[in-house]
Structure 1
Amino acid sequence: MIARSRVPLAERLTFRPLSVLSMATVWVLLWGSVSPMIIVSGLLLGYVVGIVLPLPPVFWKGHLRPVGILRLIGHLVYDLVVSSIRVFLLAFHRKVDLRAGIVRIDLITDNDLYQVQVAEMISLVPGTVVVEVVRNPRRLYLHAIQLHGDDPIGRVQKMAVGVESRVVRAFGSRREIEDFHAALHHHPAPDALDLEVEP
């Protein structure tokens, strides 16, 4: 939440129809009734919440890229299916040799919206969950299971960079995509100290 004193009064009093309608819709759904009184109270409550608890501005210079969005969704569905099968097999395996740990992911992009999207996409996939989001420097901490084999940290970090790449290609501007690929070549290698394995 941002401090109210930092947001000018005129900006806080501005009517934001999408925000107010969204909150009013949630209010109606919570009540489970579509009466005029509940609709009006939801609209008023949505407006008051927007004044008292203003949302921070979101700066997005990107574009919706249909091919990138389809690729992002397709890869998410694939990850969901494969990871669900792996977790299912792990749950019903006789001998569980679980090596779980916390892995640090340094993000390449410097955008709140992309950071949240990457964190959500990773957390949706069974077997990984974001446990901490750091804004400065842009960083995620993931809890991952099945950290076996050669270079498990690198594998998890490569997965996260892949998600970030697909998010940028789905929603980024041409400049953001070019900057991402240029920065990708200078991205630091995984650090073995970033893994804490549970006994």
Structure 2
Amino acid sequence: MGREARRRERLLTLSELPLLIGLVLTWVALWHEVSLMSVLSGIVVALFALRLFYLPPVLIAARFNVWWALRYVLYFFWHLAIASVQVAWLTFRPGPPPKTSIVAVRLRTKSDFILTMVGLTASLIPGSLIVEVDRYGSTLYLHVLNTPTARETQHAVQAALDIEELLIRAIGSKRDLKELS
């Protein structure tokens, strides 16, 4: 048996370790208990799931910029607070319901991880929701609240591009960084 075949037979590869940790943490959270038994049973269930179901590898760049990660977190929480107030106002204000739009945002990245993170971030901020993702075209389709004019629609597109830029600068690959320039 060759060296490569033995390497493939390992119980767990290094690229699967973050997924295993995430699955175990989810298992422990579901049981609402941190104990030796819940962690061990979580490891068994996670290993079983990793071997039973095909999960494509998530390629993450081997770089992390603390400054840009902090800016991303601050951006997220600031826009979360502002958008929450705006959506609350739209709920209680008199008048007709606000106009909505579906906008396409073509991202510069080809990374599935960055694409997913941009979509999750945009959806967690009130007032926008991802309705479709074109993975191969790196395009997100967002349903955006309160877009009566093209200016507000363009603002929603720019917000998604700002999120993408912050994420690329924080955790993106060198190729993605070149795309920003």
Matched, 1:119 2:116: no
Structure 1 residue 17: deviation in Å? 4.9
Of stretches 55-64 and 32-41 in structure 1, the one that deviates more from structure 2 is: 32-41
Aligned alpha-carbon RMSD (Å): 2.4
Structure 1 residue 158: deviation in Å? 1.3
Question: Scaled by the length of structure 1, what TM-score is found?
Answer: 0.76
Matched, 1:148 2:145: no
SS of structure 1 residue aligned to 2:104: strand
One-letter code aligned to 2:24: A
| Number of aligned residues | 174
SS of structure 1 residue aligned to 2:133: strand
Paired position in structure 2 for 1:135: 135
Structure 1 residue 84: deviation in Å? 0.8
Judged with a 3 Å threshold, the aligned counterparts in structure 2 of structure 1 residues 146 and 35 are, in CA distance, closer, same or farther, namely closer
Distance in 2 (alpha carbons) for counterparts of 1:26 and 1:19? 10
Paired position in structure 2 for 1:5: none
Structure 1 residue 10: deviation in Å? 6.0
Write the deviation string for residues 88-137 of structure 1: whole angstroms up to 9, x where unpaired.
11111011341012111111111101101110110111000111111111
SS of structure 2 residue aligned to 1:132: strand
Paired position in structure 2 for 1:23: 23
Judged with a 3 Å threshold, the aligned counterparts in structure 2 of structure 1 residues 45 and 141 are, in CA distance, closer, same or farther, namely same
After TM superposition, list the pairs within 5 Å mapping 1:78-117 onto structure 2. 78-117=78-117
SS of structure 2 residue aligned to 1:57: coil
Give 5+ residue unaligned stretches, structure 1.
1-7, 182-199
Distance in 2 (alpha carbons) for counterparts of 1:174 and 1:10? 28
Distance in 2 (alpha carbons) for counterparts of 1:123 and 1:63? 25
Given the alignment, which residue of 7, 11, 32 partners 1:14?
11
Say whether the 8 Å CA contact 1:13–1:51 is kept in structure 2: no
Question: Scaled by the length of structure 2, what TM-score is found?
Answer: 0.82
Judged with a 3 Å threshold, the aligned counterparts in structure 2 of structure 1 residues 9 and 180 are, in CA distance, closer, same or farther, namely farther
Structure 1 residue 173: deviation in Å? 3.9
Identity of aligned residues (%): 26
Distance in 2 (alpha carbons) for counterparts of 1:57 and 1:122? 24
Say whether the 8 Å CA contact 1:83–1:127 is kept in structure 2: yes
